[in-house]
Chains A and B, each alone.
Chain A
Amino acid sequence: MNITFINGSPKAKAEGSASHVILNDLRTFLPNQKINEIHLNKQEVSEEQMQLLKSSDAIVFSFPLYVDSVPSQLLSCLYEMEKSLYALPVRVFAISNNGFFEGVQNRYALEVIRNWAVRTKLFWGMGIGIGGGGMILGQNIPVGKGSKKDMGRAMEKLSDSILNNKSGEDILVNMNFPRFLYKMIADHGWKVKARRNGLKIKDLYKTL
């Protein structure tokens, strides 16, 4: 089975994105599978990337939620891919992550990918929405354990759908962590980063 992972983060380096960490976590549920990974961080898909996508049995998008939807450069790529992948026997999966605590906030971004799959006459698999994306990068927690317990359960179902070429219901998960603490740590984190940039806290509230 040919599986292609699509990292839809617009960051310059794939390794610096939560979307990449999520795909690495998903790999642990897909042992012995041939998996290619491409990074669609530009507004177009290269010929080489498109060839990989065309030869896939399953493709898995992993992207950050941007303003309640798919990041703009990935949308541009979807337009191109609609033409090139039209009616191929490919099943499509999607994982959207967001910085807000609630995974449910990803549900309509997952629908965008599903609507794209329907327009492109591909087979829809399922999606996962993951909240608390701020906890994904820079932490070495194995998927299925601790704060990533529910994320692990969701990935188990998604990988089962990939391997059995079937569809499933979308799953929307939060980190197994208290929301008030997540919010407190995140708000503190903004202040720490601003100070590192030479700003005062009041500068963050500036209006122009």
Chain B
Amino acid sequence: MKLIIHDFRGEDANIPELSASENTRVISDNGKIKPCIGCFGCWLKTPGECINKSDGYNNIGRLFGNCSEMLVISECRYGAYSPFVKNVFDRCIGCILPFFEIINGEMHHKKRYGNEIKIKIMLYGDITGEERQTASNILRRNFVNLHVTNHEILFFKNKEDLKGALL
């Protein structure tokens, strides 16, 4: 299954490249997503799934754990994802286990699922050199923490350029 996560809204989101299909699931912004509150319920109460079911974004960990390909489209500001896409990643931690292991000399969480994910991250915005560096470093850490080995990061000056690259 391919998973698309994006922060486009309105007309921008209505393009065939961002549409769900039989083998493609899409996580997009309906304005209702609630933040992760760090309760660890997705590890210790309902393992693998967020306990907050009020907004419909409780299955993100399951989707991460069952996809083979992921496309992430996000504004980049300060070197971070947009708040919506960051929220999706904050709510994804059910895809890993609470238990720790040492990877490259640092502590990280163990895998829950055995899937190998090929991930492509497309970031857009008026991004400074420092922000680009910060974003690249954060994403490299994300790949370790989410056990992703096949990855690509692309930067675009604006949404239109990014949409052009999707076609």
Contact = CB atoms under 8 A, between A and B. Distances in A.
Interface of A: 9-12, 41, 43, 64, 66-73, 75-76, 78-79, 100-102, 104-105, 108-109, 111-113, 115-116, 118-119, 179, 183, 186-187, 190, 193-194, 197, 199, 203-208
A208 B61 CA distance: 9
Contacts of B113: 207
A147 B122 CA distance: 41
Interface of B: 35-38, 40, 43-45, 47-49, 59, 61-62, 65-66, 77-84, 86-87, 89-90, 92-93, 97-100, 102, 106-108, 112-113, 128, 130-131, 134, 137-138, 141-142, 145
9 contacts: A41-B37, A43-B83, A66-B36, A75-B80, A116-B78, A119-B128, A190-B43, A194-B44, A208-B49
Given A207-B112, A208-B48, A111 B130 contact: yes
Contact of B35 (A71, A100, A105): A71
Nearest to B109: A100
Contact of B65 (A43, A64, A78, A208): A208
B141 A115 contact: no
Contact of A208 (B40, B62, B138): B62
B89 A67 contact: yes
Contacts of A112: 78-80, 134, 138
Given A11-B37, A118-B130, A190 B98 contact: yes
Contacts of A101: 106-107
B58 to A, nearest CB: 11
A12 B83 CA distance: 19
Contacts of B145: 67-68
Given A108-B141, A199-B44, 5 more contacts: A41-B37, A75-B82, A112-B78, A115-B130, A204-B99
A144 B126 CA distance: 42
Contact of B86 (A75, A105, A119, A203): A75
Contact of B80 (A69, A104, A208): A69
